[in-house]
Structure 1
Amino acid sequence: RETGLHQRDEPQMDFMYCSGAATEVLKFGSCQLHSEHKVLFLIIPGNPGVVGFYRTFMQTLHAMFRYQYPVWAVSHAGHCVPPTSMDMVDDASSAEEDDVFGLNGQIEHKLAFLRTHVPKETSLVLVGHSIGCYIILEMMKRNPELKVLKAVMLFPTIERMAETPQGKVLTPVLCHMRYLAYLPLFLLSLLPDNIKAGLIKLVLGGISTLDSSVIQPTVGLLSGDSAANAMYMGGQEMRKVLERDNITIKKNLDKLIFYYGATDHWCPVQYYHDIKLDFPHGDFRLCENGFRHAFVLDAGRDVAKMVVEWIRGDLTR
């Protein structure tokens, strides 16, 4: 019996081309969906969109719902390190034409993933983190047919990103000086993985309860084009995430749960107060636990436990 439990907690990594770009999918529970799978949890990551960062968070969700529902996370196009047998894109000219690594391309990439890998009748619990929340709102807007039971928005960057404290610092870097970062990134990518891991531990050393499962995915991020693709997408976020999409929020208000950080430099508390004023009947929560924007670094388990409490009722009706 023990081995059965252990296997249920061991995820599978799948690599595929989606929208012509290398995509990594981390799967807890069933690796293929059939008609008996009524509900799928799908994690839409922040940026960088590396699924390995969400491992502890997903594992906790999966276990707390007693392994009933598959929990998947889909990487952003080009933010993963594909196996040696795969290139980053399977058709460079069409990837460029569709701008698959850009923000719009990433939204279309998630819709393409659902079309290809998730049966239409499967209900979705979408969990977005940071820019993943913006992507979810866009998915719901572009495909109103999606069967979304709930969409949980964690630390949502869905408006005025360039005006935030972090946005003001990073906008010039991401939009105008991105290429300056490519040389150090390239040099870093040449280092052996164990040295990269050591550097990452050094940089994240101040986090006393660091989740060690994030080290390896970070090593991957520094290994090829992934970090450059993430920066390219980040530059577009600063230019494109401007006005909050109140129309889509209003249409789906009963399905949405927003969780704002109390000290989030990507998403000031003012944004929480603003959205609450505009939607007095919405479900908006302000963090009381001091979780950081990049909660996966040290609070994946705690945030997952909260999410389970919020949505348990919707799944057992």
Structure 2
Amino acid sequence: MDTAPTRSASVRQDQVPFLEYPSAKREDLSRRQCLIYVIPGNPGLIAYYEPFMKTLRELLDEVEAKEERHYAFHIYGRNLLGFEDGDHEPQFGTSAAGVATEPFTLEDQIRCCCEQVQEANVSALGGDRVFDEIVLIGHSVGAYISLEIFNRHHHARREQQSSPWDNVNLKAGILLFPTVSHIAQSSSGQKLDMIRRTPFLDRSAHHIAKGFVNLWSHWMLATVISRFMGFPGHAAAATVRFLTSQDGIWQALHMGKDEMKTIAEEKWSEDMWEIQEAEADEAAGRGTKFFFYFAQKDHWIADECRDEFIEKRRQHEKGRTTIVIDEENIPHAFCIHHSESVAEKVRLWVQDIAGL
């Protein structure tokens, strides 16, 4: 194994791409302001979710337009770190004083998402206003990151010590095709874990993959992805940008291998799944804290691990969890072709969370 010292690259927060769809009612002080924060999967480009977020915006506009509705929903999402060359410096692998920079780990992504949720809470509305409620939407590993954000928020609140979470009101999580336990046992996870466990591939897979991609011109890649793989415009453009970036492939593989060893046995406390006494009044009219949406068959989630996770949630008497198994054959990568269908479902869950 390569034991050379490494260090993480520095993050350029102002260069991390984001998408934002604010509510037209955000200045209405009579409405409860709700931030819906979208966390992507791996590869972590928020551009994959543009049709999903746009459709959800349109659907929530319809909800807000009804006179009896007293909510305003602000939709926001950012890239995960390392998937754009401009969001970090120096380039991965660059050596300084004998120490090489490496891509960001899953823990790095969790910490950054925690900071960004806190930052969006105090900056997105402007002035001194903060959001009355925050709903996290996580896809794939973004669902695991979402649960870790809830976990850290929960522990900070339980310790009753001053922290950046003090004015952050996390209300609920919507977890789409979630990879939240034993990901290495899935069919795709087994392949990626084999790369992680093979010393040569562990060190070189990203170089091999990048070398292969570099054999293709930008135009040829775009043609293959759009015409032969059938990707629509938004997904084709995001994929070409990801593949042709200097560090994107390395970041995706590095983070994916880290997922294989990190996302294993469930480690969250039972009370995280519950609505706490301090939240009870604000939770009136809302029966669910977490919505899980699983595929019938998912190459990133082993059936037995999914079923075991679901059974644990069902046996938890105080848990506020709703679990749905897809019946429409929507694939794990829903954001390629099925954004509108999933946005319709999410709209209903957001309404349930808001008690509408």
Task: Give the structure 2 partner of residue 244 of structure 1.
Answer: 266
Secondary structure of the corresponding residue to residue 277 of structure 1? helix
Task: Please tell me the root mean square deviation across aligned C-alpha atoms, in Å.
Answer: 3.1
Task: Give the structure 2 partner of residue 199 of structure 1.
Answer: 224
Which of structures 1 and 2 has the bigger CA Rg? 2
Work out which of the residue numbers 198, 201, 210 in structure 2 matches 1:185: 210
Secondary structure of the corresponding residue to residue 70 of structure 1? strand
Give the C-alpha shift of residue 112 in structure 1: 1.6
Q: How far apart in 1 are the matches of 2:174 and 2:229?
A: 27
Identify unmatched segments of 5+ residues in structure 1: 1-16
Deviations 1:126-158 (A, max 9, x none): 100010011011111112344122200111101
User: 8 Å contact 2:185–2:301 — kept in the other structure?
Assistant: no
CA 24–34 in structure 1, closer or farther in 2 if over 3 Å, else same? farther
Q: How far apart in 2 are the matches of 1:90 and 1:249?
A: 41
In the TM superposition, what are the counterparts of 1:1-317 in structure 2 within 5 Å?
19-20=11-12, 22-29=15-22, 38-66=33-61, 68-82=72-86, 88-89=88-89, 101-119=104-122, 121-122=130-131, 123-144=133-154, 145=165, 146-174=168-196, 176=198, 177-178=201-202, 179-186=204-211, 188-189=213-214, 191-202=216-227, 204-205=229-230, 210-224=231-245, 225-247=247-269, 250-252=272-274, 254-280=288-314, 282-317=321-356
Deviations 1:83-122 (A, max 9, x none): xxxx6327988xx999771000000011121233322831
Task: Give the structure 2 partner of residue 9 of structure 1.
Answer: none
CA 98–110 in structure 1, closer or farther in 2 if over 3 Å, else same? farther
User: 8 Å contact 1:78–1:226 — kept in the other structure?
Assistant: yes
User: 8 Å contact 1:47–1:131 — kept in the other structure?
Assistant: yes
CA 34–310 in structure 1, closer or farther in 2 if over 3 Å, else same? same
Q: How far apart in 1 are the matches of 2:221 and 2:257?
A: 25
Q: TM-score, normalised by structure 1?
A: 0.81
Give the C-alpha shift of residue 239 in structure 1: 1.1
Identity of aligned residues (%): 23
Q: TM-score, normalised by structure 2?
A: 0.72
Partner AA of 1:71 in structure 2: I
Greater CA deviation, 278-287 or 214-223? 278-287
Q: How far apart in 2 are the matches of 1:182 and 1:199?
A: 21
Q: How far apart in 1 are the matches of 2:224 and 2:185?
A: 31
Identify unmatched segments of 5+ residues in structure 2: 1-8, 65-71, 123-128, 155-164, 276-287
Give the C-alpha shift of residue 195 in structure 1: 2.1
